[in-house]
Amino acid sequence: MEKFFAYQKDSREPCKYGRKCFQTNKEHTDKYKHPPTKDDIKVDDKKMTRKRDLKGKLKSSNKTNGESSNSDHSNRPNEQSHNSSEINDMEVPERPEQTITTSNSEPNSITSSSNQQNSTEYAVPSMRQHSQQQQQLLLTNSTLEDCSVDDGIVPSTPTLFTPRRLDGETVSSPHVPSSNQIQRFTFVGESQPSQTPDLNDREQPDDPPVQNETDFDCLKKKISELFLIKEMPKEFYDLWSFCKRLCSTHPEDALLSVGLKLVGPYDVLAGHMNGFNANDVEKTVLHWRYYYDPPEFQTILASTTSEFHIGYYRDVPLEFPVYIVSNDSSKNCTIQRLGKSLFQVLRHHLQRLDSKIANTLQKKLYAYQKQKVTEILLGRESLPVSKTFHKAGIVVPYDRKTDIGYRPLSESEYNLKKILKSYHEASESKKMEVMDKLQPIISYANIASDECDFGTGFELGIDFFCDGNPDLHRICKQLLVTAYSLLRRPQFATIIKAHLNNRRKGPNMSIL
């Protein structure tokens, strides 16, 4: 018990691992305290022993000869309650490591070692930590749901005119090919579960390997909460295991010989993002996000010599990726679809390098893929309603029978690019004239959103984003935040707001 009271009086912060901590370095032990084991706090008092008579009834050792079995039975509850209270007084808080990482934990205090009769002295700190977690979760949910809107969307603004393009062609809704996999659009339905980050992040060592299932689950949750996505696919971790074979100390640098580096969520596995938590999502969602990367694009491999990068493409934030894609932001905004297998995509990239090191690495990748990799991406279940400027396409709920969910823009892609180019090249005095041509297109997209064709504003916002003109960032943000909110993708709304507020160019997009 002396070690337990010494632990309670210790002013150091409690370690998040608790008794399971495996770190023994002096820097860690000087900063954090560790609770004593159960063997250190065993009570020396012997437990009350009871014997049973021939009839199976309990007999107390202090029972007199004149007492009846009924008195023994009536006194038994008092004895049991006495024993339970005696054991509870000796208990240690089960999980002192469940304090929130972002909050400063308060040291447990005990007035004196003689006051051991009330077990609530040890329960109060855990109750306070629970209330802090409740408040922190509410704050986190508010940041992710700040763009949410009323689910009951009723068309409020009628279309007063039939939009026509400059070439005189009348705009109509598209013909989307029929497919059994296309989801029917509904006005009011069950919304997708919001991404609620788990704030009970355990402290990670400098370069931690994935040691057991508990640590692995903790890393997966941390990736989800820092990047506002569903957990990564299995092949993502298979590539990390392969790189650990090549370089056990720094797997993220295992592909440097071929000019590639594991980045983005791989930095969580490498232990480089231990200092970030759910309150830093406005920074972490920008980690290795290039200039032309929409919220659907997440970089996992980056070139060390250029702005070429490979990543996953998601249509919905809380679903698995549909494709592996690439982009070179120094050239254009085009997103190229590479395939559904990360190992196969990487092998094809190494084939194009045509070097001895790349060929050797390609053979190792193929051998590991054939032996270990069992799952690949499933691809898209629904057809895209428009390609947009980046050519990767957008997917929205569209009902082909009622023709609700999407309508084309009032201008063709060619004419829209021509107008945006003239706006970019126009002088300050001439920009207002060009804006007069853009305003009807924007108004038509807003009317389409009022009439539940959410894909129209989504397409126009992505086109403005791919144009890359900073003068259009305000309009782009308004269109995309509204579209993502109406499509119930608030995580993407948070990402696009953070990106447009801090849109950077260059090859190094790390926030570390």
Top-confidence range, 27-31, 107-111, 117-121, 461-465: 461-465
pLDDT of residue 24: 79
More confident residue, 195 or 312: 312
Query: What mean pLDDT is predicted for residues 303-314?
Result: 96
Q: Provide the CA 428 distance to its chain's centre, in angstroms.
A: 42
Q: Would the pLDDT of 408 be above 50? A: yes
**Least confident span in 27-41, 304-318, 340-354, 396-410:** 27-41
What is the secondary structure of 399-415 as a DSSP string? BTTTTBS----SS-HHH
Per-residue pLDDT band for 384 (boundaries 50, 70, 90) equals very high
pLDDT of residue 220: 92
Residues 375 and 382: their CA atoms lie apart, in Å, by: 21
The count of other CB atoms within 10 Å of the CB of residue 321 is 26
Q: Would the pLDDT of 263 be above 70? A: yes
User: Whole-number mean pLDDT of the chain?
Assistant: 76
Per-residue pLDDT band for 455 (boundaries 50, 70, 90) equals very high
Q: Would the pLDDT of 289 be above 60? A: yes
**Least confident span in 7-11, 103-107, 338-342:** 103-107
**Least confident span in 102-116, 150-164, 222-236, 445-459:** 102-116
Active site residue 213: no
pLDDT of residue 73: 44
Please tell me whether the overall predicted TM-score, pTM, comes out greater than 0.75 for this model: no
Q: Would the pLDDT of 170 be above 70? A: no
**Above pLDDT 90, what percent of the chain?**
54
Per-residue pLDDT band for 456 (boundaries 50, 70, 90) equals very high
**Least confident span in 78-82, 390-394, 414-418:** 78-82
More confident residue, 476 or 102: 476
Query: What mean pLDDT is predicted for residues 448-469?
Result: 96
225, 307, 411, 451: which one is catalytic? 451
pLDDT of residue 151: 41
Q: Provide the CA 290 distance to its chain's centre, in angstroms.
A: 19
Q: Would the pLDDT of 172 be above 60? A: no
Per-residue pLDDT band for 164 (boundaries 50, 70, 90) equals low
Residues 146 and 491: their CA atoms lie apart, in Å, by: 10
Per-residue pLDDT band for 42 (boundaries 50, 70, 90) equals low
> Is residue 281 packed enough to be buried (19+ CB in 10 Å), middle (13-18) or exposed (0-12)?
buried
Q: Would the pLDDT of 434 be above 80? A: yes
**Least confident span in 96-105, 236-245, 356-365:** 96-105
Check if the beta carbon of residue 402 is closer than 8 Å to that of residue 182: no
**Least confident span in 41-50, 100-109, 291-300, 346-355:** 100-109
